[in-house]
């Protein structure tokens, strides 16, 4: 179990260092099988994935594991089917229970086994600013009015803006305010999916159903991953209805609003939209600085104001990365036993925050896509709707967003004077397709290679 926690923590970090589609394709089903004598053994489901990960991500994986545990010397990779991994894991768990092998402990990860909530996420430690005040207001209303006022509460926003913190904060608050009487359950949509799969396989779907229907507050994190998984969506829909009709509170988070989760069934989408839908935007400078100050207070340490300002300025949007930067700086300060200077802080930040290496010309992206799809660049930026151009154009839109972070209106305009919703749709569609279509993903990766080398 602890190996798994360790690996999940590492994966969360690795996910920030590579693109999401690559992460989903290559590392999602990886497992940490063993870790001893400084060697971490990672399993991948097939040879292809093993070679790919070894060639492309070894450095990142090793670096991440070293950061977490500096006794890590190397990483080795093996191919193992999922079933074999499960069997092996059971063995290791049993073994480590009897051997009492001392492993790294994670105080931050002590989740309550009944609710799955991490006590570290509280409403009190959630700092409020312009980008999250509406979501915060909705969340606190739910605490006061469980199950009636805002139901379901649907919170969406980008990676690392505080969704998990806020929804778990509500869970913890409701739980405490009711003196543990209200039954709260936090679940990632992945965990929910796995339970449904387990239930189907073992003909124990009723057990799962009963378990979820006894809950007073159901919190589902990152619901976007449920879209397209037929049976899971079906089960979730029924659970949702049962709880909803019973006036039980449902809280959901997602990386996008319901209407942009591409494969979500209409009926579930309209259920979500029938409640309170509210977003958390990217934090501005003030909010980032306030969160940093708050964290310093919590930890009872201090940092020069100019360094706090520098961190808030340099970390763009992802608060999880900001957290990592802060921890590194504090660690350094502690190890050297001296106040950290602006210059050293800058060096540490440089290590963590990757700036785009250089500016890529959008025209080069369009050109490379055209070449890869055997069409002409002018076809791509024309308004022509020929079938064979549609996919190529969507890929171009996706890449302009993914590589250059261009705004949707700009992308739409650039590729045939289209509406920004067309660009948004293209981005979401290709993001999803990549996870299912390896050929498309490889094509896109080779286009990326071309542009970044030219």
Of the two residues 161 and 261, which places its CB atom closer to ligand ADP in the complex?
161
Pick 43 or 132: Cβ nearer ligand ADP: 132
For Mg ion, which stretch binds (CB under 5 A), given 69-77, 158-166, 198-206, 230-238?
Answer: 158-166
Which residue in 420, 376, 379, 374 sits closest to 397, CA to CA? 420
Q: How far is the CB of 6 from ligand ADP (least distance, A)?
A: 18
- The CA distance from 213 to 244, in Å, is 10
Please identify, using beta-carbon distances, which residue of 25 and 164 lies nearer to Mg ion.
Answer: 164
Is the separation of the CB atoms in 266 and 230 below 8 Å? no
Phi, psi for 253 (deg, rounded to 5) = -120, 155
- Name which of 166 and 182 has its Cβ closer to Mg ion: 166
- Interacting residue ranges for ligand ADP, rule: CB under 6 A: 125-127, 132, 157, 159-165, 291, 319-320, 323
Do 403 and 448 contact (CB within 8 A), yes or no?
yes
Phi then psi for residue 74, to 5 deg, are: -150, 165
Q: Name the segment binding Mg ion (CB under 5 A); options: 163-171, 187-195, 335-343, 413-421.
A: 163-171
Out of ligand ADP, Mg ion, none, what residue 35 binds, judged by CB under 5 to 8 A for its kind, is none
The residue count for binding Mg ion (CB under 5 A) is 2
CA distance 44 to 134: 42
User: Looking at beta carbons only, is 190 or 413 nearer to Mg ion?
Assistant: 190
Residue 120 and residue 246: Cα distance in Å, rounded?
30
- The residue sitting closest to ligand ADP, measured at its beta carbon, is 162
Quote the least distance from Cβ 190 to ligand ADP, whole Å: 14
Q: Which is nearer to Mg ion, 163 or 401 (CB)?
A: 163
Q: Which does 160 bind (CB under 5 to 8 A by kind): Mg ion, ligand ADP, none?
A: ligand ADP
Among 30, 80, 164, 232, binds Mg ion (CB under 5 A): 164
Return all residues near 216 (Cβ < 8 A) that are at least 6 apart.
146, 147, 182, 183, 184, 248, 249
**CA quadruple 230, 232, 235, 238: dihedral positive or negative?**
negative
List b or e across 112-124, with b for residues whose CB sees 16 or more CB atoms inside 10 angstroms: eeebbbbebbbbe
State which residue, 198 or 331, has the beta carbon closest to ligand ADP. 331
Least gap, CB of 163 to Mg ion (angstroms) = 5
Binding range to Mg ion, per CB under 5 A, among 21-29, 155-163, 320-328, 439-447: 155-163
Q: Quick one: what does residue 21 bind among Mg ion, ligand ADP, none, with the CB cut-off 5 to 8 Å set by partner type?
A: none
Residues 6+ apart with CB under 8 A from 361: none
Residue 319: which of Mg ion, ligand ADP, none does it interact with, CB under 5 to 8 A by kind? Answer: ligand ADP
Residue 159 CB, nearest approach to ligand ADP (Å) = 5
Name every residue whose Cβ is closer than 8 Å to that of residue 250 and which is 6 or more positions away in sequence. 151, 152, 153, 217, 218, 220, 240, 243, 244, 275
Nearest to 48 by CA among 445, 449, 442: 442
């Amino acid at each position: 179990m602890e190996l798994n926690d360790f690996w999940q923590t590492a994966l969360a970090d690795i996910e920030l260092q590579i693109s999401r589609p690559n992460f989903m394709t290559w590392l999602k089903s990886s497992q940490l099988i063993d870790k001893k004598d400084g060697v971490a053994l990672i399993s991948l489901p097939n040879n292809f994935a093993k070679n790919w990960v070894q060639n492309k991500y070894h450095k990142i994986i090793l670096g991440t594991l070293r950061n977490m545990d500096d006794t890590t010397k190397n990483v080795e990779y093996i191919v193992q089917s999922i079933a074999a991994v499960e069997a092996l894991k059971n063995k290791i768990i049993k073994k480590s229970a009897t051997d009492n092998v001392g492993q790294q402990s994670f105080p931050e990860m002590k989740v309550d086994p009944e609710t799955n909530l991490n006590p570290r996420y509280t409403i009190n430690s959630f700092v409020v600013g312009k980008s999250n005040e509406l979501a915060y207001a909705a969340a606190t209303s739910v605490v006061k009015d469980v199950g009636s006022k805002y139901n379901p509460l649907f919170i969406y926003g980008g990676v690392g803006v505080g969704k998990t913190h806020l929804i778990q904060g509500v869970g913890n608050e409701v739980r405490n305010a009711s003196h543990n009487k209200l039954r709260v359950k936090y679940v990632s949509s992945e965990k929910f999916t796995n339970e449904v799969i387990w239930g189907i396989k073992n003909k124990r779907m009723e057990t799962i159903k009963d378990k979820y229907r006894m809950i007073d507050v159901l919190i589902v994190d990152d619901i976007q991953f449920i879209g397209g998984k037929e049976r899971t969506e079906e089960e979730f829909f029924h659970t949702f209805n049962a709880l909803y009709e019973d006036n039980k509170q449902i809280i959901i988070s997602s990386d996008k609003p319901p209407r942009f989760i591409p494969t979500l069934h209409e009926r579930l989408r309209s259920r979500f939209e029938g409640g309170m839908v509210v977003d958390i935007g990217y934090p501005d400078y003030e909010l980032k600085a306030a969160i940093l100050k708050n964290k310093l207070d919590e930890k009872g340490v201090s940092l020069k104001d100019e360094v706090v300002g520098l961190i808030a300025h340099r970390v763009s949007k992802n608060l999880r990365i900001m957290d990592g930067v802060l921890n590194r700086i504090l660690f350094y300060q502690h190890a050297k036993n001296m106040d950290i200077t602006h210059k050293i802080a800058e060096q540490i930040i440089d290590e963590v925050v990757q700036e785009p290496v250089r500016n890529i010309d959008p025209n080069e992206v369009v050109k490379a896509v055209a070449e890869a799809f055997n069409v002409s660049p002018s076809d791509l930026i024309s308004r022509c709707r020929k079938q064979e151009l549609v996919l190529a154009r969507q890929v171009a839109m996706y890449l302009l967003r993914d590589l250059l972070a261009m705004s949707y209106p700009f992308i739409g305009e650039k590729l045939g004077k289209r509406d920004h919703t067309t660009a948004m749709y293209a981005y979401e569609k290709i993001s999803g397709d990549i996870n299912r279509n390896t050929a498309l993903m490889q094509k896109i990766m080779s286009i990326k290679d071309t542009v970044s080398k030219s």
